[in-house]
Amino acid sequence: MIARIRPLLSVALSGLLVLSACGKNDGSASSNTSATNSTPSLATVTGSTAAVTNATATTTVPASVFNVPDTQSLSGGDVQKIISRGVAEAAAQGKPAYIAVVDRVGNVLAVYKMAGAPDNATLRAAPNPASNTDLEGVSVPAAAGAISKAITGAYLSSGGNAFSTRTASEIVQQFFPPTAVITPGLEGGPLFGVQFSQLPCSDLSGRFKPTGGSGAFIGPKRSPLGLSADPGGFPLYKNGVLVGGVGVMADGDYGFDADVSNVDNDIEENIALAATTDYAAPSSITADRVSLDGILLRYSDASTSTLKSSPASAAGFTNSAAVGTLQVITGYTNGTIIDGQVYGTEASGIRKASSAEFNNLDAFVLTNGAGNNRYPTIGGSDGADVGTPLSGTETGAILEEAFKIMSRARAAIRQPLDSRAQVSISVVDTRGKILGVVRAPDAPIFGIDVSLQKARTAAFFSSKNAASDLNGDPSSDVRTFIPAARTFLNDTTAFTGATAFSSRAIGNLARPFFPDGQFNNPNGPFSRPIAKWSPLSTGLQSALVLTNLVQHVTFVKGASATDTPSRCSFIPDSGPGINRLQNGIQIFSGGVPIYRGSQMVGAVGTSGDGIDQDDMISFLGVYNGGQRVSGLGEASNFIRSDNVVIQISGNSVRLRYVNCPFAPFLGTTEQNVCQSK
């Protein structure tokens, strides 16, 4: 997910810049990889243990090439230690704090408030906020910020990479790396927009059940504020295995690090780092071991030398008014400490697939806790709209072929080098209905929700309904974006189904400078202008879910008894009880539409590794799936978004469609794998 986007355009824009459907990568995407897996030969990856017959071809079950994470989890005693060490550092810093601990799938194991800690935090605003049309400047519960930070540390990490909220801050802003001295040509962060995932309105993410019972601890769980870019959140590891995350709020400011050229002394980050003592990420996989375009990512500006306490000798856990108390947080915890779930088990909500559920020995699926796959491969619900919808066999073929590509792909963010990519893959129909979800054993959790967002984004904007749905949203702000886009594209009928848009293409249009990195140029039509832009106010992406987020914050505060529904945005329904953007949109690479001839019938989304890898897995998954199932495949070259030419500052610029790594596979020298497909 985090392979740097190759510069969209050269600094000197002269003439027409022709960007092919799948272009070269500069090599950085394949230089940062991970996992402890061995690298079997290509023959092993595509070899078989059993034959499976589909509609038109006989395929084989690939042999296993991934290791399953060891069975570890946080106990109640572990949670007490983590909190106690954070409390000791906060006391030494003279800054009482909220401290939240979650497990790997997002269950809140405890929220602790120190005596005197501020109960609220303010969402940091842009230099010129967007006139009450977004969340900037809104007061939110400090506990919500702490939980969001803890979930971010857990969800962005894996057994092959450890990312913090400081890492998140670096990779979601308008420039990568964020700096006060801007160099011409700097593009937006590689995970630009990911902060608006894991939303509290997501229909995929689970919700806390105050009364417990069946399915109470099924993940992945939602985050109250999406993913966080505010330093003060880290992943937690036990015996080298990812088991959760910790987040801290103490200063009342929920923001981001706008300049990574210096080293901050961040009190919240110091408290959170102290809390990870004995549960820290292995140093071999932290973000500062990952290089993107030759730039090492940031993991922590705090270190043992910046701590003012001795965490290992911190006093034991105390639940008293004089020191601090466990908190009841509406929608997240009932004020007790609970044990974390063992990731990979039925009770965690994510487990190994059975042979009947998926045709690959390495596949993991989402489960309901009672043994049932939450999202088995099924056919589309949109026959009345598309004529012949995707069948269950076709959905399965695309997921299987995408999974095979992932299993061969060199990872971009995992350590050690030359590990295999591990991602989550989702398929949807044109109404946004989930037709199947599958993932690698150790893929980061955030990629589940994001892969679904990417699939829905590609299906939505490629459909005949995109313009009418957005123009039918009750928000006057949302209704401004289609007219702006049509003017920008010089096309009065844009977004009515004539063009196939990938999530990369929509991301191009959702940058505060167009083309991305050309900071003297105007914003894309789906973005806020740069003076009004911030990670908390990106444009159409944030405007669509503003009402949902406000509803949820009000609910968490206890000011409303009604939570936001499990459906993001308020666009018109596409079918009974569903809209096309049920968990929001995503504005970076990895989602492509699926066509039957000239008819768009759905989309696939991939997330969890380098963005070019995500593009390739989705793109080739559709292409190879179409080779197995007659009549199915990619959009015609003639309708892909890279045919769209935009006039900017006297230059002609094409949108991107997808961008695949130049030499992406392990065990082969194959190159340009997406060319001419």
pLDDT greater at residue 588 or residue 16? 588
Whole-number pLDDT of residue 130: 55
Helix (H), strand (E) at residue 296:
strand 295-296
Question: For the chain, what percent of residues have pLDDT higher than 70?
Answer: 90
Given a cut of 90, whether residue 179 has pLDDT beyond it is no
For the segment(s) 28-68+346-462+589-654, the CATH number from 3.40.630.10, 3.40.50.450, 3.40.190.10, 3.30.450.150 is 3.30.450.150
Whole-number pLDDT of residue 178: 87
pLDDT, tens digit (0-9, with 9 covering 90-100), for 228-274: 999 999 999 999 999 999 999 999 999 999 888 899 999 999 999 99
Cα pseudo-dihedral 633, 635, 637, 643, rounded to 10? -160
Q: Which amino acid is at 206?
A: G
- How many CA atoms lie within 13 Å of 548's alpha carbon, on the beta-carbon side? 29
Mean pLDDT of 496-505: 98
Q: Which of 38-52, 99-113, 410-424, 565-579 has the lowest mean pLDDT?
A: 38-52
In the chain, the N- to C-terminal Cα span, in Å, equals 22
Share of the chain residues as helix, strand and coil, in percent rounded to the nearest 5? 25, 20, 55
Residue 121 pairs with which residues in a beta bridge?
A: 140
Q: How far apart are CA 616 and CA 661, in angstroms?
A: 7
Whole-number pLDDT of residue 506: 98
pLDDT, tens digit (0-9, with 9 covering 90-100), for 511-546: 999 999 888 889 999 999 988 898 999 999 999 999
Q: How far apart are CA 47 and CA 68, in angstroms?
A: 20
Q: Where in the chain is the domain with CATH 3.30.450.150?
A: 28-68+346-462+589-654, 76-334
Whole-number pLDDT of residue 635: 97
Q: How far apart are CA 557 and CA 186, in angstroms?
A: 39
Q: How many CB atoms lie within 10 A of CB 498?
A: 11
* Residues listed for the chain: 677
- Which of the four pLDDT bands, split at 50, 70 and 90, describes residue 78? very high
Q: Which amino acid is at 506?
A: I
Mean pLDDT of 427-434: 98
DSSP string spanning 62-75?
Answer: PPP--PPPP-----
Q: How far apart are CA 482 and CA 525, in angstroms?
A: 8
Q: How far apart are CA 417 and CA 666, in angstroms?
A: 11
Whole-number pLDDT of residue 129: 61
Whole-number pLDDT of residue 259: 87
Whole-number pLDDT of residue 42: 37
Q: How far apart are CA 307 and CA 95, in angstroms?
A: 13
Angle at 600 between CA 599 and CA 604, to 5 degrees: 150
The answer to whether domain 76-334 has CATH 3.30.450.150 is: yes
CB-based contact 190:308 (threshold 8 Å): no
Query: Three-state SS for 130?
Result: coil
List of residues 6+ apart from 91 with CB closer than 8 A:
114, 309
CB-based contact 103:73 (threshold 8 Å): yes
Mean pLDDT, the chain, integer? 89
Local structure of residue 594 (DSSP, 8 states): E
Q: How far apart are CA 368 and CA 356, in angstroms?
A: 16
Mean pLDDT of 561-571: 97
Closest alpha carbon to 220 in 152, 286, 275? 152
Token representation of residue 234: 């880290």
Q: Is the peptide bond before 220 cis (omega within 30 degrees of 0)?
A: yes
Q: Which amino acid is at 465?
A: N
Q: How far apart are CA 606 and CA 451, in angstroms?
A: 5
Given a cut of 90, whether residue 4 has pLDDT beyond it is no
**pTM (two decimals):** 0.92
How far, CA to CA in Å, does 183 sit from each of 262, 519, 522?
Answer: 16, 9, 17
